[in-house]
Amino acid sequence: MKLELLFSIIFLVLVNNSNADYAFGHRGFRVLDPPEDLTRDTTRVTSNLFIEQKVDNFNSSDTRTYSQRYHVNEYYYNETAKNHVFLLLGGEWEATTGWLTYGAWIETARQYGALLIYLEHRYYGYSHPFSDLSTENLQYLSATQALADTANFIEYINNQYNISSSEAKWIAFGGSYAGTLATWLRDKYPDLVAGAVSSSGPLEAVLDFHKYYQVVRESLATYSDSCVENVREAFSQLEELTSSCLEETEVSGEIDTIFKLCTSIAESEVTDNDLSSLFEYIAGYNFAYIVQYNGRLSITLDNICDIMTNETSGNTALERLGKANDLLLSYFGYTCSDFLYESTVEYLKDTVIYSSSMSRQWYYQTCTEYGFYQTSSQEDPIFGSRFEVSFYTNLCVDVFGSMFNETRINQGIKEINNKYGAQNVSTSNIVHFHGKIDPWYPLGKLTTTEDIGDTVIIVEGVAHCASMYASSANDPADLTAARVEIDRLIGTWLEVSTDESEDSEGADESEDSNVPDDTEDSENPDESQQDNSSSVKCSCNSYVIGLVAIIMFYVAK
């Protein structure tokens, strides 16, 4: 909401990957994967339930419907009180069952005796209104339609569980793009939702999100100024070589070797878009991705800066940048880097539905509502200046057609900011959590509104969606304190005292709540849409493309 991730776009295509969508979009709004090293147990979850929703919630004459998927965990539910429901909103990803048994919200549900529900977003996972992702069929993919789906869903669950609408206390949770939706749900449907917890939710749509890489730079500086200067020097060297020396076989061959390019620059007619892809990829995967998820990956900001500042990694800054790239290639299991722009266009034009696919849908949302294009147009860029906003807006046209031009993108951004208030949203009972090294935090709400009753929590040294993960002994003290404060605020929204929460009829506290994602549910809801890794590899030409537009508000798997 990966998100995601969210969350601009990495247009580099990497070959030899069996999960083509994992990286496309998931540096931005990356899917929120629970850790993989925990014991698997999904026996408490009822998965693959469906509700019939209208394709168009705002046209009474349109009677078409689609099936929207959700999962439920009743383990902590206080069936006597029957009024506390925690709803995790899906973002631009497949909603699998892992988050029904993992995360900070599980600990809170135990405390307050809450029913847990995870709702998949329309057009993602198994919740598709149409049989393909043609541009015409994507016209009903929007935040406003998704919020209306959620409002209908809440009323449906109240009826299914015999919950009195006057006594129901729904709390919405979301990370990244889904965190944005949680905020807007509380703002637009306050009669249905008692409160919302938004983790790393960007609220201001913006065409040129140049602040993203500014935060990446500031985060690298927490390691050392030397790291920043070596990165700057490496990209400066690369920019000089690609600007004037590509016709020299020796120079272009050096670039091929340093970055293990799948297609030789020396043997190709390289376009400006190809070079923009190359720069955005190197900046995105080697730095922005690591910074955004620092602490959640086995590779950290410190690891990358260690390479960039250690001359044993290479005689020049450019060679050291190549070593950092080698580390990321190994991390993802890739053998080479494909920087060709047309590969990206071809990939995003694929209209076939796979349950794990999110790239085409999310890029459509950036072209119609959000922008979020993470550019190199800072006043003092350290990642070169190759990936400007026109690079991303041109991709909208090349993928979806001439009408999806910059004028239309800007109109969509203006409309959504006017509709939802951007960073000026001021509604009670919302927590806006941000990590200070998360490059998305500049687009979130950063100041508490006086006399409204919302809460902004910004924690130094933590990254994207940090508050959503289960507590750990390694957590910074400020992050632990933030989770405690969020739990306390939820109690006030539920009108539950501390003593009452301790006496909740939920499950035994000794029960393990840290259970990871079972990405293959025990029941496949639709044979025609089952994910098939070999099909993904074929349709994507074994490419994986990184969408730095977020990919997110990744946000929650």
Break the chain into its structural domains and give their ranges.
211-339
Q: If you ran DSSP here, which 8-state letter would residue 435 be given?
A: E
pLDDT value of residue 266 = 78
pLDDT digits (tens, 9 = 90+) for 429-475: 999 999 999 999 999 999 999 889 899 999 999 999 999 999 999 99
CA distance 521 to 510: 26
Closest to 18 (Cα-Cα) out of 531, 448, 443: 531
Say if residues 2 and 26 touch (Cβ distance below 8 Å): yes
In this predicted structure, the answer to whether residue 517 has a pLDDT above a threshold of 70 is no
Do 441 and 458 contact (CB within 8 A), yes or no? Answer: yes
Per DSSP, helices labelled H in 310-405 are 317-332, 341-348, 359-365, 389-400
Nearest Cα residue to 557 out of 15, 21, 32: 32
Q: pLDDT at position 282, please?
A: 95
What span, in angstroms and rounded, lies between the C-alpha atoms of 125 and 120? 7
Q: Under a CB-based contact definition with an 8 Å cutoff, are residues 276 and 341 in contact?
A: yes
Query: How many CB atoms sit inside 10 A of residue 257's CB?
Result: 12
Band of residue 552 on the pLDDT scale cut at 50, 70, 90 = very low
Query: In terms of DSSP bridges, do strands 115-119 and 84-89 run parallel, antiparallel, or are they unpaired?
Result: parallel
- The tokens describing 206, both together, are 């913006």
Measured CA to CA, the distance from residue 38 to residue 101 in angstroms comes to 11
Residue 249 or residue 93, greater confidence? 93
Q: d(Cα 187, Cα 189) in Å, to the nearest integer?
A: 6
Q: Which amino acid is at 358?
A: M
**pLDDT tens for each residue of 288-336:** 999 999 988 899 999 999 999 999 999 999 999 999 999 999 998 999 9
> What is the tens place of the pLDDT at every residue in 409-434?
999 999 999 999 999 999 999 999 99
* Cα–Cα dist 274/264, whole Å: 12
pLDDT exceeds 90 at position 2:
no
pLDDT at 252: 83
Confidence of residue 93 (pLDDT cuts 50, 70, 90): very high
Are the CB atoms for 98 and 34 separated by under 8 Å?
yes
**Whole-number average pLDDT of the chain:** 85
> What does the pLDDT average to over 254-274?
89
Per-residue pLDDT band for 539 (boundaries 50, 70, 90) equals very low
How far is residue 204 from each of residues 255, 375, 467, measured CA to CA in Å? Answer: 38, 16, 21
pLDDT-based confidence at 501, cuts 50/70/90?
low
- Exposed e or buried b per residue across 91-110, where buried means at least 16 C-beta atoms within 10 angstroms of its C-beta: bbbbbbbbbbbbbbbbbbbb
Confidence (pLDDT) at 321: 98
State percent of the chain over pLDDT 90: 72
The predicted model gives 219-237 an average pLDDT of: 97
* pLDDT score for 32: 52
Half-sphere exposure of 202 (CA within 13 A, CB side): 39
DSSP class of residue 79 equals T
Per-residue pLDDT at 39 exceeds 90: no
Say how far apart CA 547 and CA 31 lie, in whole Å: 12
Is 432 known to be catalytic?
no
Q: Does residue 35 have a pLDDT over 50?
A: no
CATH number of 211-339: 1.20.120
Q: Does the pLDDT value for residue 19 go beyond 90?
A: no
The yes-or-no answer on residue 176 being catalytic is yes
d(CA 71, CA 48): 6
51, β-bridge pairs = 68
- Does the pLDDT of residue 198 top 90, yes or no? yes
Contact present, 26 and 356 (Cβ < 8 Å): no
Which of 98-107, 255-264, 413-422, 520-529 has the least mean pLDDT?
520-529
Please indicate whether residue 313 is annotated as part of the active site: no
Which stretch of 3-7, 41-45, 46-50, 384-388 has the lowest confidence by average pLDDT?
3-7
pLDDT grade, residue 18 (50/70/90)? very low
CA separation, residue 133 to residues 92, 130, 294 (Å)? 14, 7, 33
Q: Does residue 460 contact residue 295 with C-beta atoms inside 8 Å?
A: no
Mean pLDDT of the 112-129 span: 98
β 195-199/430-435 pair status: parallel
The yes-or-no verdict on residue 254 having pLDDT over 70 is yes
Could you tell me what percent of the chain has a pLDDT over 70? 81
Please, are residues 25 and 6 in contact by the beta-carbon 8 Å criterion? yes
pLDDT tier at 33, thresholds 50, 70, 90: low
Judge whether residue 46 has pLDDT over 70: yes
Q: The tokens of 185 are what?
A: 């749900």
Cα gap 276→339, rounded to integer Å: 9
Name the 3-class secondary structure at 358: coil
Q: Can you say whether the dihedral through the CA atoms of 262, 209, 445, 170 is positive or negative?
A: negative
Check whether 8 has a pLDDT greater than 80: no
Name the catalytic one among 350, 438, 521, 531.
Answer: 438
Which of 8, 127, 142, 176 is the catalytic position?
176
Choosing from 274, 355, 464, 475, the catalytic residue is: 464
Cα separation, 182 vs 427, in Å, equals 12
- Return the H-helix or E-strand segment holding 51: strand 45-54
The DSSP bridge partners found for residue 169 are 84
> Which of the pair, 251 or 319, is modelled with greater confidence?
319
User: No. of H helices and E strands in the chain?
Assistant: 18, 13
Least confident of 13-17, 143-147, 157-161: 13-17
Under the banding of pLDDT at 50, 70 and 90, the label for residue 145 is: very high
Residue 84 has pLDDT above 90, yes or no: yes
Per-residue confidence at 268, pLDDT binned at 50, 70, 90? confident
Nearest alpha-carbon partner for 422 in 198, 98, 201, 269: 201
